[in-house]
Structure 1
Amino acid sequence: MWIFITLFAAGCQSVRTAYQNTLARETGFLHATMSRSLYGLPLVSVYLFVCWQIFDWVTVSQSVTFFVTASICAVAQIMATYFMLRTFQSGSFAIGTLLAKTEAVLAALIGLPLLHYTLTMGAWLGIAFGVLGAVVMSVKWKNIRQAHKDISLLLGVASGLCFAITSVTASIASHSLSGSIITSAGVTLWYVLALQSIILCGIQIYKSKDILAPFRREFALSCKVGVLSSLGSIGWFTGFALVNPALVKTLGQIEIIGTLYYSKVRFAEKITKQQWIGGAMIVISVILVVTSTVK
């Protein structure tokens, strides 16, 4: 089940990221980051109501754990999105998305002491191979000695780290609730988006001195970003609640196919042979993870 949910989430995210990149160019980083939470919240609210009717409600058995981890999740996701959008501006759409994919191995490492999940050797190999593929796609080998000074590299890795923290804390928050795991994931997602909306809308209104500022610019495009983001987040958060977030994120790297398409077609960026090789490595890593976890 988690495989199909993750593939759905990856597909939605691939399209959403392309729209969000366009939105960032038109309105700036703040509005583009805010749109995914504020404009996605109504759809997630409807989804949560449906989960309530089908799977019943949940209770907060560990309130401190839930609110702390869900709040960390919300802030980490804001930072991850911001860093990724900054990478797009300093590097390219493809490189920004690819560098963020280091989140898979980072989620595995962070999750070991916190989630107590175990991984097979095949899964570890798949995760490592996927990260190596992302490195092959993004690093300019002629400048390898100066790679640590490349702002695109630093921002991309920072994005991956924040996305990894998001994945792990979302899983912890969902499991701190008692009841259906599907509804628990929905409750966690709703809280995260609501908190993000409050934070980001507050900043935007304060800066513009206009209470309607979040709704005045690129409304239609913002709605597209919000809807696609909410659909993808429903899939991600459900997957995080079902299995090890590292596995979900590694399988989610199949999104690279959509990334290469949008990079080449929508943004007219040249895809090099090195990037195609790295992309093939990521696809192989996905196959390794799936075959090592599905019996």
Structure 2
Amino acid sequence: MWIFITLFAAGCQSVRTAYQNTLARETGFLHATMSRSLYGLPLVSVYLVICWQLFGWVSVEKNLVFVVAASICAITQIMATYFMLRAFQAGSFALGTLLSKTEAVLAALIGLPLLHYTLTMGAWFGIAFGVLGAIVMSVKWNNIRQAHKDVSLLLGLASGLCFAITSVTSSIASHSLSGSLITSAGVTLWYVLALQSIILCGIQIYKSKDILAPFRHEFALSCKVGVLSSLGSIGWFTGFALVNPALVKTLGQIEIIGTLYYSKVRFSEKMTTQQWIGGAMIVISVILVVTSTIK
């Protein structure tokens, strides 16, 4: 089940990221980051009500673990999205997206002591191979000694780290609730989006001195970003609740196919042979992880 959910989430995220990149160019990083939470919250609210009716409610009273984990999840996801959008500007859409995919191995490492999940040797090899593919794709080998000064590389890696923390903390938050895991994931997602909306709308209103600022720029495009983001997040958060987040994020790297398509067709970016090789390695890593975990 988690495989199909993850593939759905990856497809939605691939399209959403392309729209969000366009939105960032038109309105700036703050609005583009805010749109995924504020404009996605209504759909997630409807989804949560459906989960409530189908699977029952969960206990959320006086749950400090949930509040702390979900709040960290909300903040790190804001940071991850911001770093990724900055990486787009510093490098390219394809490189920014693919560098953020280092989150898979980071989620595995962070999740070991916190979630007590175990991985097979095949899964570890697949995760490591995918990260190696991201490195092959992004590092300029003729200037390897200066790689630590590459802004797009650093921003992409920072995005990957923040996304990894997001994955692990969302899983912790969902598992801290008693009741259906599907509803728990929905509650976690709703809380995360609501907190993000309050934080980012507050910043945007403060900077613009306009209470309607979040709704004045590219409304139709913002709605597309929000809807696609909410659909993708429903898939991600449900997957995180069901299995090891590292497996979900590694399989989610299949979105590289959509990334390469939008990079070439929508943004007219050219891919080098080195980048194609790195991309192929990431796809192979996805296959390795899936085949090693299916029983």
TM-score band w.r.t. shorter chain: over 0.9
Whether the aligned pair in 2 keeps the contact of 1:61 and 1:176 (CA below 8 Å) is no
Unaligned runs of 5+ in 2: none
Give, in whole Å, the separation in 2 of the partners of 1:120 and 1:34.
Answer: 38
Give, in whole Å, the separation in 2 of the partners of 1:266 and 1:139.
Answer: 24
Aligned to 2:206: 206
Whether the aligned pair in 2 keeps the contact of 1:62 and 1:176 (CA below 8 Å) is no
Give the drift of 1:72.
Answer: 0.2
Q: Does 1:164 align with 2:164?
A: yes
For residues 1-34 of structure 1, the C-alpha deviation after alignment (integer angstroms, 9 at most, x for no partner) is 0000000000000000000000000000000000
Give, in whole Å, the separation in 1 of the partners of 2:196 and 2:14.
Answer: 21
Q: Secondary structure at the match of 1:101?
A: helix
Whether the aligned pair in 2 keeps the contact of 1:62 and 1:177 (CA below 8 Å) is no
Instruction: Please list, as runs of the form range in 1=range in 2, the aligned pairs for 1:93-172 lying within 5 A after superposition.
Output: 93-172=93-172
Instruction: Please list, as runs of the form range in 1=range in 2, the aligned pairs for 1:116-265 lying within 5 A after superposition.
Output: 116-265=116-265
Give the drift of 1:60.
Answer: 2.3
Instruction: Quote the RMSD (CA, aligned, Å).
Output: 0.7
Give the drift of 1:279.
Answer: 1.0
Task: Give the TM-score of the pair, scaled to structure 1.
Answer: 0.99
Task: Give the TM-score of the pair, scaled to structure 2.
Answer: 0.99
**Runs of 4+ residues deviating >6 angstroms:** none
Residues 179 and 98 of structure 1: CA distance in aligned 2, closer, same or farther (over 3 Å): same
Identical counterparts, % of pairs: 90
Give the drift of 1:143.
Answer: 1.2
Give, in whole Å, the separation in 2 of the partners of 1:62 and 1:194.
Answer: 19
Give, in whole Å, the separation in 1 of the partners of 2:282 and 2:180.
Answer: 33
Whether the aligned pair in 2 keeps the contact of 1:21 and 1:88 (CA below 8 Å) is yes
Unaligned runs of 5+ in 1: none
Q: Does 1:89 align with 2:89?
A: yes
Give, in whole Å, the separation in 1 of the partners of 2:108 and 2:56.
Answer: 31
Q: Secondary structure at the match of 1:198?
A: helix
Whether the aligned pair in 2 keeps the contact of 1:61 and 1:178 (CA below 8 Å) is no
Give, in whole Å, the separation in 2 of the partners of 1:289 and 1:105.
Answer: 12
Whether the aligned pair in 2 keeps the contact of 1:77 and 1:166 (CA below 8 Å) is yes
Aligned to 2:13: 13
Q: Secondary structure at the match of 2:119?
A: coil
Whether the aligned pair in 2 keeps the contact of 1:9 and 1:236 (CA below 8 Å) is yes
Aligned residue pairs, count: 295
Give the drift of 1:235.
Answer: 0.2
Residues 271 and 84 of structure 1: CA distance in aligned 2, closer, same or farther (over 3 Å): same
For residues 166-200 of structure 1, the C-alpha deviation after alignment (integer angstroms, 9 at most, x for no partner) is 00000000000000000000000000000000000
